[in-house]
Chain A
Amino acid sequence: DTGVSQDPRHKITKRGQNVTFRCDPISEHNRLYWYRQTLGQGPEFLTYFQNEAQLEKSRLLSDRFSAERPKGSFSTLEIQRTEQGDSAMYLCASGAVGGDGTDTQYFGPGTRLTVL
């Protein structure tokens, strides 16, 4: 296994269109996270799954955003009616809770979204 993969790497869309991103985590990891990063900022948490259950959603995740992880493996993040403010790097990470409760997250390469 070579790590977390994301598809596509780049997406350019027009305002108002819907977009969907896919993340494939490291196979033995049961936790999958989505973050968003804008220029000059660190990644900001959006949502996370443990297996197929979505356990937490940030208030950054408006009603236009939806994430799924139907079989506890890959995940999709959909943005409906995109806005220019949605332009960002969308990062996926996966992790597994360690014996001491720590959770190191490993990131994919990201999907760069540009909304025109």
Chain B
Amino acid sequence: DQQVKQNSPSLSVQEGRISILNCDYTNSMFDYFLWYKKYPAEGPTFLISISSIKDKNEDGRFTVFLNKSAKHLSLHIVPSQPGDSAVYFCAASAIRADKLIFGTGTRLQVFP
């Protein structure tokens, strides 16, 4: 049972354009969501998070949007840079719960 889904395994975007990565979840108990970036042979690096009391959180070039009714969140990267090329994981947890549930990741490639 895949509770967190990233249906696009890969995304290719031109440098300077917007990258939009999507994530869907099925468990209505989830109310804290995170995005991580991962390079090969490294651990995931925390990017940005959002709790269910908000519908948007912004940090520099990164913005996360949450649509609770649709059980959908997205990560926007503007403008995209070649250094953003990595695998992006969406993760979810219930507040005060003990573990993160991850999606399968989306590989982003930003080309010049």
Contact = CB atoms under 8 A, between A and B. Distances in A.
B89 interface: yes
Nearest to A55: B98
Contact of B102 (A44, A97, A100): A44
Contacts, number: 64
Contacts of A101: 95-96
A45 interface: yes
B111 interface: no
Interface residues of B, number: 25
Contacts of A58: 99
A102 B49 contact: yes
Contacts of B101: 45
Contacts of B43: 4, 6, 91, 93, 107-110
Interface of B: 4, 32, 34, 36, 41-46, 49, 51, 89, 91, 93, 95-96, 98-105
Interface of A: 4, 6, 33, 35, 40-45, 48, 55-56, 58, 91, 93, 97, 100-110, 112
